Amino acid sequence: DRYTKHTGQGPFGRHTRKSLAPSTLRQGFPAAGSSALRHRLDSLDLPYPQGPNHSPSSTLLASGREMASPSPLVDFPQHLLEEIFLRLPAAEDLARASATCVTFRRLVTDRHFLRRFRRLHPPPFLAFFDSHRLHPALPPHPSAPAARALALAADFSFSFVPSPHCRRAGRWAVQDIRDGRVLLRHTPFADLAVCDPLHRRYILLPPLPEDLAALVAHPYVVFNPWCQPFLVPLDEDAATTFRVIWVVHCETMAAAIVFSSSTGQWQTAGDLTRLISATGYTLLRRHYAYHCFYWELNPINKLLMLDTGTMEFSFADLPPGEWALNIAIVEAEGRLGMFGIFHETAGDLCYYVKGNKGESSQWQIDKTISIGSGHRHYIKAASKRYLLLGKYVVRRNVSPSVSDSTSILPPLDMPGEECISIDIKTLQLERVCVRSFGFGRYGMHIYTNFPPSLLSAPTI
């Protein structure tokens, strides 16, 4: 409160009081000088110049209290301060440290430091977006306070994005969400916009060239969810630039179209008509790992792969089995990984890895995670760090005409679909929320970002 009174802004930047409730700011923040913060600082295994009888907590906390007089902080090397702050376990601790003194805040707000912190501390799972609205994580999910702050600060109705056609009916529909950005399409037209709902910034993309616009306007493309445009993951060295790829295919043609915010132009990146027509299969759900996008091919057990560096297409195999669109391709510490759920063993989540070059190129099962029997689980969405599962209850159909069959019905004590997040690294399962029951498996997008703070820098 004293910091806000004298500077006009809080530890999270301008308009802190509007963006975050006081209870949210306080939660998880040990007060400066408290035993909790002192314990966190003392637990950091770092060298410090004052000798063995001094601890990080005594040095740093004393420094924050004695800024009006000569302080040991002046002699404390900045690179050691950076290493200490990088090792803080949570973003909330970093925000509290930034409010301690001017020196700390100057270091924490440095772009190079923030880039390093984001690289070491991936943004948390905050919410997911379905075809209707945003669903923030609710208690007891560990991200619930941050998700509430996001819901209060951001505009996921996209009211700040103007309509490109004042006289034409239509609405903005979410096509993809990645790195805090949202890709919108003004349906049923081909107009696109990229926006940052947290900072209320947007860019209207230029119209497609006539020949490409005609392909996108094909009825098969317009109403096919697998022909949606999508965002290429963020380049850390160019935080406010982006690329959009649109892979469209119909009965006679298939092509990849790319927009770059650096050039402001659309261009055709590759013609895969021959590749698709040779197989006769359609593209299904999209995945991303290690600079490559993957599409499941129906009905064969293969993937179509697009290398975003070379913009070349090729095929890749899936592990044996009938996965029925219930997989997620992920990054597995330098190797390609895959989570999948068999229909016949719906209570188990299987995790496969594929060998690197020089190793076996075959998929090998790494582990099996039990996710509960008596239920059907479906992989709804995936991001770089998280999976989103939907859980349905399986009940016996008591109708005599269809005896001995199963049906998926919402139970009487659970009026909806339970949504669960899984941390890919730790395999920790957390309940996100319960949404209205529906059979749609797809069209969901995970939103990961830091809550309104120094770490949630504008992406546009």
Structural domain includes residue 186: yes
Q: Does one domain contain both 109 and 136?
A: no
Q: Would you tell me how many other CB atoms lie within 10 Å of the CB of residue 55? A: 16
Single out the residue in 120, 144, 167 at which a domain terminates: 120
Structural domain includes residue 455: no
Single out the residue in 54, 86, 120 at which a domain terminates: 120
Q: Does one domain contain both 141 and 75?
A: no
Nearest to 31 by CA among 4, 61, 67, 7: 61
Low pLDDT (below 50) residues in the chain: 1-33, 48-52, 61, 63-68, 278, 358, 396-398, 400-405, 411-412, 414
Q: Does one domain contain both 252 and 370?
A: yes
Q: What is the pLDDT of residue 454?
A: 72
Say which amino acid occupies 43. S
Per-residue pLDDT of 193-222, as tens digits, reads 999 999 999 999 998 877 777 666 655 555
Strands, E, within 290-370: which ranges? 292-298, 302-307, 312-317, 327-332, 335-340, 348-354, 363-370
Structural domain includes residue 181: yes
Q: Would you tell me how many other CB atoms lie within 10 Å of the CB of residue 155? A: 14
Strands, E, within 24-82: which ranges? none
Structural domain includes residue 274: yes
Q: Is 134 in contact with 126 (CB distance < 8 Å)?
A: no
| CATH number of the domain encompassing residue 362 | 2.120.10
Q: Does one domain contain both 37 and 132?
A: no
Counting the structural domains of the chain, the total is: 2
Q: How far apart (Å, rounded) are the C-alpha atoms in residues 42 and 200?
A: 40
Q: How far apart (Å, rounded) are the C-alpha atoms in residues 351 and 326?
A: 12
Q: Does one domain contain both 55 and 96?
A: yes
Q: Kindly report the pTM of this predicted structure.
A: 0.76
Q: Does one domain contain both 67 and 184?
A: no
Q: Does one domain contain both 230 and 370?
A: yes
Q: Does one domain contain both 74 and 141?
A: no
Contacts of 367 (CB under 8 A, 6+ apart): 351
Q: Does one domain contain both 90 and 193?
A: no
Q: What is the pLDDT of residue 268?
A: 80
SS3 for 41? Answer: helix
Q: What is the pLDDT of residue 38?
A: 55
Q: What is the pLDDT of residue 210?
A: 78
Structural domain includes residue 55: yes
Q: Does one domain contain both 85 and 153?
A: no
Q: What residues make up the domain containing 360?
A: 125-448
**Tokens 């929320």 -> residue:** 433
Single out the residue in 75, 97, 120 at which a domain terminates: 120
Q: Does one domain contain both 304 and 347?
A: yes
Structural domain includes residue 349: yes
What stretch of H or E contains 407?
strand 406-408
Q: What is the pLDDT of residue 199?
A: 92
Q: What is the pLDDT of residue 129?
A: 92
Structural domain includes residue 456: no
Q: What is the pLDDT of residue 287?
A: 93
Q: What is the pLDDT of residue 420?
A: 94
In angstroms, the first-to-last Cα distance of the chain is: 31
Q: Does one domain contain both 199 and 238?
A: yes
